[in-house]
């Protein structure tokens, strides 16, 4: 059996041992409903509220601004639809490089609530054109700017402070999809000027199906799910107590180990870039791999000749897990919308590798060896 080389951490990450322990302990000993008034109920409530306090502290906001969700997609859908329903926003400025959870939700809102979407220009590397953003903001008052903090396919980082300054100058709200950056960087939302943020625990070694959104208190909207008083009347339904406890532990650990993890992961990414350049002639990288880019993501553009349909299965046979786009679109060989928007050459197959603190230099060597062999045999 080949050892597993897991390089798909932007899709999902393995859980940390300590997170599993917290969740297991919680499952065994904290089985009450947080809304119950007896001892077991109070115990569960304490777990949920301690997690909220811990997460709020790491985001630089108050606990009352943190709302637990089932993950990034729910947070994104809620924020966008409540901005329309409760905050009466009609103009949404976004980019064509956003996650489908943003783009599909906005498309639906154009039909349901007659909002207008305005797409900001991006350059060849996929960075936002701030001058164009400024122009769009001048023409559309009271807009919501929806731009992701780091792109999940190419890793580009957004200059969030520059964007929020433009937003402030035009009375616009700023929603950043922070799913790929929370747990990787210190994302202090007030410092960055972000009004709404979305997070997903399984991207930072926490459990799947658990996430949170941050809604700054001055833009608080109304209930997202009705039928109970949970989440201060915002999201009815019994809380995912184990998931929430695991997520808080995962985020605390991500912050404790952030500097060391950054150094080791950035080192792996650079090693991967160097080895690929040495071994595969004509290799390119989509996005801004060696510039303003997330250390955990590398999007490789292979020379023409490699069969895109064979690439993933060929790597899979070698025990290597990577992605050709976002996880939601893998499984079908549909060309990535992000690469299309970047006008990447259609004849060049692309592979997204994404690293975590659990990867090693040996794994990078192994991946480069196998992908080089695939290129040579094509
Ligand atoms: N936004 C980004 C940037 C993502 O990478 C993802 C997951 O791939 C999501 C949103 C959706 O998050 P979740 O899987 O928690 O629904």
DSSP-assigned states of every residue in 239-308? --HHHHHHHHHHHHHHHHTHHHHHHHHHHHHHHHHHHHHHHSTT-EEES-TTSSB-TTEEEEEPPTTS-H
* pLDDT given for residue 61 in this prediction: 98
Per DSSP, 16 falls in state P
**Residues carrying CATH 3.90.1150.10, the chain:** 5-13+257-376
* pLDDT given for residue 132 in this prediction: 98
* 131-150: pLDDT as tens digits: 999 999 999 989 999 999 99
CATH topology of domain 5-13+257-376: 3.90.1150
Cβ of 101 less than 6 Å from ligand 1: yes
DSSP three-state, residue 37: coil
* 61-71: pLDDT as tens digits: 999 999 999 99
Q: What is the mean pLDDT of residues 304-329?
A: 83
Active-site residues, by number, are: 328
Instruction: Give the pair of three-digit tokens for residue 290.
Output: 């060696």
* 185-208: pLDDT as tens digits: 999 999 999 999 999 999 999 999
DSSP three-state, residue 345: coil
Q: What is the mean pLDDT of residues 274-294?
A: 97
Residue 231 has pLDDT above 70, yes or no: yes
End-to-end CA distance of the chain: 25
Calpha distance 157→291 (Å, rounded): 9
* pLDDT given for residue 328 in this prediction: 45
Cβ of 230 less than 6 Å from ligand 1: no
Instruction: Give the pair of three-digit tokens for residue 157.
Output: 């980082």
Q: What is the mean pLDDT of residues 157-169?
A: 98
- Which atom of ligand 1 is nearest to 76's Cα? 10
Task: Tell me, in angstroms, the distance from the centre of ligand 1 to residue 39's CA.
Answer: 36
Task: Tell me, in angstroms, the distance from the centre of ligand 1 to residue 303's CA.
Answer: 29
Task: Tell me, in angstroms, the distance from the centre of ligand 1 to residue 76's CA.
Answer: 9
Q: How far is CA 297 from CA 79, 183, 189, 329, in A?
A: 26, 14, 22, 17
* pLDDT given for residue 309 in this prediction: 86
CATH topology of domain 17-256: 3.40.640
- With DSSP H G I counted as helix, E B as strand and the rest as coil, what are the percentages for the chain, rounded to 5? 45, 15, 40
If you search the block for the tokens 């592979």, which residue do you land on?
351
Cβ of 77 less than 6 Å from ligand 1: no
Cβ of 146 less than 6 Å from ligand 1: no
* pLDDT given for residue 46 in this prediction: 98
Cβ–Cβ under 8 Å, residues 355 and 296:
yes
* 80-134: pLDDT as tens digits: 999 999 999 999 999 999 999 999 999 999 999 989 999 999 999 999 999 999 9
Residue 326 has pLDDT above 50, yes or no: no
Biggest CA–CA distance in the chain, Å, is 67
**Residues carrying CATH 3.40.640.10, the chain:** 17-256
Cβ of 73 less than 6 Å from ligand 1: yes
Q: Give the residue, out of 79, 152, 176, with the most ligand 1 atoms within 8 A of its beta carbon, to mutate for a pocket test.
A: 152
Element housing 376 (H / E):
helix 361-377
Per cent of the chain over pLDDT 70 is 98
Task: Tell me, in angstroms, the distance from the centre of ligand 1 to residue 210's CA.
Answer: 11
Task: Tell me, in angstroms, the distance from the centre of ligand 1 to residue 378's CA.
Answer: 33
Q: Which residues of 64-74 are buried (b: 16+ CB within 10 A; e: fewer)?
A: ebbbbbbbbbb
| CB < 8 Å & 24+ apart, contacts of 101-104 | 101/72, 101/73, 101/76, 101/77, 101/177, 102/76, 102/146, 102/148, 102/177, 103/337
Cβ of 5 less than 6 Å from ligand 1: no
Task: Tell me, in angstroms, the distance from the centre of ligand 1 to residue 109's CA.
Answer: 19
Q: Give the residue, out of 13, 100, 101, 323, with the most ligand 1 atoms within 8 A of its beta carbon, to mutate for a pocket test.
A: 101
- Atom 2 of ligand 1 has which residue's CA nearest to it? 179
Q: Give the residue, out of 200, 208, 250, 297, with the most ligand 1 atoms within 8 A of its beta carbon, to mutate for a pocket test.
A: 200
């Amino acid at each position: 059996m080949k050892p597993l080389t897991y390089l798909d951490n932007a899709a999902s990450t393995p859980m940390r041992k300590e997170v599993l322990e917290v969740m297991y302990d919680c499952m065994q000993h904290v089985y009450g409903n947080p809304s119950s008034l007896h001892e077991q109920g109070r115990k569960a409530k304490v777990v949920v509220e301690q997690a909220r306090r811990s997460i709020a502290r790491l985001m630089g906001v108050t606990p009352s601004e943190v709302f637990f969700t089932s993950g990034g997609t729910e947070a994104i859908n809620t924020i966008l639809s409540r901005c329309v329903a409760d905050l009466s926003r009609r103009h949404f400025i976004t980019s064509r490089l956003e996650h489908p959870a943003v783009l599909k939700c906005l498309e639906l809102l154009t039909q349901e609530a007659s909002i207008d979407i305005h797409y900001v220009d991006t350059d060849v590397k996929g960075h936002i054109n701030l001058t164009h953003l400024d122009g769009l903001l001048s023409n559309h008052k009271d807009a919501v700017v929806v731009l992701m903090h780091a792109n999940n396919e190419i890793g580009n980082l957004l200059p969030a402070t520059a964007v929020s300054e433009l937003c402030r100058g035009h009375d616009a709200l700023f929603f950043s999809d922070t799913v790929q950056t929370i747990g990787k960087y210190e994302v202090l939302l007030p410092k960055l000027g972000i009004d709404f943020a979305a997070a997903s625990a399984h991207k930072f070694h926490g459990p799947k199906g658990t996430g949170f959104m941050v809604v700054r208190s001055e833009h608080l909207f109304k209930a997202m799910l009705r039928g109970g008083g949970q989440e201060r009347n915002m999201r009815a339904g019994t809380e995912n107590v184990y998931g929430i406890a695991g997520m808080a532990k995962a985020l605390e650990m991500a912050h404790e180990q952030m500097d060391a993890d950054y150094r080791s992961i950035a080192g792996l990414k650079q090693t991967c870039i160097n080895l690929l350049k040495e071994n595969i002639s004509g290799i390119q990288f989509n996005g801004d791999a060696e510039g303003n880019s997330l250390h955990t993501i590398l999007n490789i553009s292979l020379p023409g000749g490699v069969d895109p349909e064979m690439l993933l299965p060929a790597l899979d046979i070698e025990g290597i897990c990577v992605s050709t786009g976002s996880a939601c679109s893998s499984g079908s060989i549909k060309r990535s919308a992000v690469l299309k928007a970047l006008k990447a050459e259609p004849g060049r197959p692309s592979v997204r590798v994404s690293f975590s603190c659990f990867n090693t230099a040996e794994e990078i060597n192994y991946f480069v060896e196998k992908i080089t062999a695939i290129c040579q045999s094509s």
